């Protein structure tokens, strides 16, 4: 029964998905079409994309669902209560301004932001809730909390390395999740990641600086996401690991965030807030 046919039930919050043709966009759309709590009201793609003007269900190879793919972000977002966005930094910043104007929840899974992008998102969050996370899975966010606690418990004689692997199409490195883990480790040590971070090594680098946090990135095949946080000292190592085998875990987390944010005021939130961690 549709929302209009059953007037005794509150209407489910409407969600716009950006980057509708992408792997994450299509997964979000499928989950929204089956969701008892949220409904799909818009699907956005860049101007000139061959999905523009088509029913998104048919564009995805299925039956029509009554939502046409559009490049008109203003019109789509104006009728939404939430926007779920896994695109690119510049696009996300543009969507954030429109989402803030609509006073809708902006769920951001985009990674690779520069400081100027983050400043723009911070400004948008003064007008509407923004929920941003480098990874939206429950397991990864538990791993972040564990990393913080282990780093706080161990001294700087324990070296910390974050190793991550992703599919060949990923364009940023380290991953947003790896940076989340690095930030958690730095917080556990009472410092800023900017002060402790060691980028990928090459050539004659010399010995590592005490207390530093190193990163390594692997790209290949269809790896969904693998993250290790390695704590190493003389004679022993501790390895915290998360393996993702289905990117649906990220999409489900994003839908959970969109629903959680419906009664929240303006501000910046993350998945620790959503999950009550």
CB atoms within 10 A of CB 188: 18
Residue 170: active-site member: yes
What is d(CA 64, CA 240) in angstroms, rounded to the nearest whole number? 44
Altogether, the residues listed in the chain come to a count of 277
Catalytic site residue from 117, 167, 170, 272: 170
Write out the DSSP string of 135-162: ---HHHHHHHHHHHHHHHHS-TTSEEEE
Element of type H or E holding 124: helix 115-124
User: What are the start-end ranges of the E strands in the chain?
Assistant: 14-17, 39-44, 69-70, 82-85, 105-108, 129-132, 159-166, 197-198, 213-219, 225-233, 236-244, 267-269
Catalytic site residue from 106, 166, 227, 242: 166
Q: Omega into 174 within 30° of 0, i.e. cis?
A: yes
Residue 264: active-site member: no
CB atoms within 10 A of CB 25: 25
The catalytic site residues sit at 166, 170
């Amino acid at each position: 029964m549709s929302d209009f046919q059953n007037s005794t039930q509150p209407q489910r919050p409407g969600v716009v998905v950006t980057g509708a043709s992408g792997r994450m966009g299509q997964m979000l759309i499928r989950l929204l079409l089956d969701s008892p709590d949220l409904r799909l009201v818009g699907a956005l793609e860049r101007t000139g994309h061959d999905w523009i003007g088509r029913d998104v269900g048919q564009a995805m190879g299925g039956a029509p669902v009554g939502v046409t793919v559009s490049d008109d972000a203003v019109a789509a977002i104006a009728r939404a209560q939430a926007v779920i966005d896994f695109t690119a930094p510049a696009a996300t910043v543009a969507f954030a301004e429109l989402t803030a104007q609509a006073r809708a929840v902006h769920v951001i899974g985009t990674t690779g932001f520069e400081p100027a992008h983050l400043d723009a998102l911070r400004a948008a969050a003064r007008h509407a809730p923004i929920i941003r996370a480098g990874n939206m899975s429950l397991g990864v966010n538990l791993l972040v909390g564990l990393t913080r606690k282990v780093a706080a418990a161990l001294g700087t004689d324990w070296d910390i390395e974050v190793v991550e692997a992703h599919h060949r199409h990923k364009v940023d490195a380290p991953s947003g999740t790896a940076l989340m883990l690095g930030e958690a480790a730095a917080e556990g040590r009472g410092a800023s990641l900017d002060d402790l971070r060691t980028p990928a090594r090459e050539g004659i680098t010399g010995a590592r600086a005490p207390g530093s946090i190193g990163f390594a990135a692997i790209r290949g095949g269809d790896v969904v996401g693998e993250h290790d946080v390695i704590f190493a000292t003389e004679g022993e190592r501790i390895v915290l690991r998360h393996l993702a085998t289905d990117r649906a875990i990220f999409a489900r987390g994003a839908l959970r965030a969109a629903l959680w944010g419906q009664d929240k005021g303006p501000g910046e939130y993350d998945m620790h807030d959503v999950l009550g961690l």
